Structure 1
Amino acid sequence: MSQFSFFLQTSLYEGMCITCFQAIKAGLIPVINPVGEMVQYTKNGMNSFYIKLDELELSVDNFYQEYIDSGFDCYISGVLNNEKDYPVFSESFFKNLY
């Protein structure tokens, strides 16, 4: 995935959306319709770009403008919003065994 910069997720409904979670951890900027658990670990303008499916043309224009204005340089890739709420699985799993 390192050859890409963005991850597109336009689901109307999601649970955890592990693909978005993994995309962030892989250093991609998710371009998402913020539904389900994604709103807990993403933040528009920080580590992701939110789109509104009912205002898709406006969302595309805003995305393009962000690209022109900053090239998404102000976005933090690879970092979860509320990272403390999402510990590394292997660390939390073994910690909770004892």
Structure 2
Amino acid sequence: METEFITITEYCVNYDIEPSFIVSLEESGIIIFTIIGEEKYIHQEQFSELDKYIHLHYDLHINIEGIDAIRHLLLKVNQMQEEIRELHKKLHLHE
């Protein structure tokens, strides 16, 4: 059975990143830790998002504030795309 959570330490060792980066993402509200007992964990549903943030930070040298801005803009784009899809559906109903 695959576990749904991984500790911050395990994640950082596996992906060779600084724990302070993950903590900064959490402090900025970009990711959310799950606390079990005394330990903080990352849920597997956040792994794909974390991969994007790691790429932005380590490969493209974008700081936490920039990552948050990019994340916000991408959420807006997704919302607008959904709104466009809904408007297309309504338009086709009236044709």
Q: Shorter-chain TM-score: which interval?
A: under 0.3
Higher helix share: 2
**TM-score of the aligned structures, taking structure 2 as reference length:** 0.28
**TM-score of the aligned structures, taking structure 1 as reference length:** 0.27
- Structure index of larger Rg: 2
Structure with the greater relative contact order (CA < 8 A, sep ≥ 6): 1 or 2?
Answer: 1
